[in-house]
C-alpha cells in the first residue's frame, strides 16, 4: 500500500467518523449531548491529521499541497471546536464558527476526492502496465 492509499484510508475514516459524530449529536437533545460526539469527532480529527501528514511526506508536489491543505483545515476545525467548547453555553449558536467548520469540511472532502482520483489512476496505470 503506497502513501496515497494510506492517506485515502485515513481521510475516508475522517469522513465516516465525522458523519457518525453528527448523527450521534443530532440524536440527542442539546442539553444532554454528553461526550460521545466530541470523542468521535476528536478521533476523526486524528485521522485527518494522520492523512495530512502522510500526504505532506509524499514525494510529489501535489501530495504535499493536498496534505498541507488537510492539515490546515484540521487545525482550523480543532480550533473552532475548542473555542466553541470554551464559549459560554448561554450565548447560543455561533454561525461564523459553523461556517468556518463547513468550509473546512468541504476542503477536506475535496482533498479526499482528489486523493481518491489519484489512487484510482495509479491502480489503472499499474493494471495496464
Predicted confidence at residue 71, as pLDDT, reads: 97
Q: Give Cα 57 to chain centroid, integer Å.
A: 18
Q: For position 68, what pLDDT does the model report?
A: 96
For the chain, domain boundaries: 3-128
Q: How much is the pLDDT for 129? A: 67
The C-alpha cell 488537510 sits at 70
- CA-nearest of 23, 26, 44, 48 to 107 is 48
pLDDT at 76: 96
pLDDT value at residue 90: 56
**Rounded mean pLDDT for each run of 10 residues along the chain, 129 residues in total:** 88 96 81 80 96 92 94 96 74 79 95 94 87
pLDDT of residue 91: 63
Q: What pTM does this model have? A: 0.87
Amino acid at each position: 500500500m503506497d502513501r496515497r492509499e494510506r492517506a485515502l484510508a485515513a481521510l475516508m475514516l475522517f469522513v465516516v467518523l465525522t458523519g457518525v459524530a453528527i448523527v450521534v449529536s443530532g440524536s440527542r437533545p442539546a442539553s444532554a449531548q454528553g461526550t460521545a460526539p466530541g470523542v468521535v469527532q476528536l478521533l476523526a480529527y486524528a485521522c485527518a491529521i494522520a492523512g495530512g501528514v502522510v500526504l505532506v511526506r509524499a514525494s510529489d508536489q501535489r501530495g504535499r499541497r493536498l496534505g498541507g491543505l488537510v492539515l490546515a483545515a484540521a487545525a482550523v476545525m480543532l480550533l473552532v471546536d475548542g473555542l466553541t467548547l470554551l464559549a459560554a453555553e448561554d450565548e447560543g449558536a455561533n454561525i461564523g464558527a459553523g461556517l468556518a467548520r463547513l468550509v473546512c469540511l468541504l476542503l477536506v472532502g475535496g482533498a479526499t476526492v482528489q486523493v481518491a482520483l489519484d489512487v484510482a489512476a495509479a491502480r489503472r496505470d499499474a493494471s495496464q502496465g
